Amino acid sequence: MISAFVNTLNIETLNIEDGHDALASSEELRAFLTEHRLLDPHDEIVTTEAAARARRVREALRMLLLANHDDEPLDHTAIARLNAAAGDAALMLRFEEDGSSKLLPQASGPDGALGRLLAIVFSAMQHETWKRLKVCKRDRCRRAFYDHSKNHSSKWCSMAVCGNREKARAYRRRKRVSVIV
């Protein structure tokens, strides 16, 4: 769910004619949130400002996932944006009859939907899954992916595509430097 939300924008295709942001409009945000059962289809109107807030949350989550690489610093602006979204959602801890607990948004509409998404992030952070969620370190990609490697060291969403491109670029850079020297 988290990676699906982050991957609603393919950074690599931004400058290409067919590149598309799946949260570009209020209608697209509504479609994404209802498709992923974060928003009741009969809920209140989704505004263009709600779509803008969702895009800010998406990019803040992308920065948070980037920090799951050991050599990347935590982006404090991203933290502030996520805290603002959690505040807008009025997330509250609720205890269930069986003694379990959940984070639930008190807000409705798009803010509540983003709150449900942030509750999923919170749950992932409590488990092994969070540290394995990352974004591709290739600047032109930044797609979210799940690191299946044994030692949690994957850097790219795909070794065959992004990993190969980055290794080839590093090789060409080394060759250029060795020719100059």
Question: Within 10 Å of residue 56's Cβ, how many Cβ atoms?
Answer: 17
Q: What is the pTM of this model?
A: 0.83
User: What CATH code is carried by the domain that includes residue 10?
Assistant: 1.10.3300
- For residue 180, pLDDT over 70 is answered with no
pLDDT tens-digit profile of 15-56?
A: 545 568 899 999 999 999 999 999 988 877 899 999 999 999
- In eight-state DSSP terms, residue 102 is E
Cα 61 to Cα 2: distance, rounded to the nearest angstrom: 8
Q: What is the pLDDT of residue 153?
A: 78
* 62/54 Cα distance (integer angstroms): 12
Provide the domain count of the chain: 1
Cβ-proximal residues to 181 (8 Å cutoff; 6+ apart), any chain: none
Domain that holds residue 87: 2-180
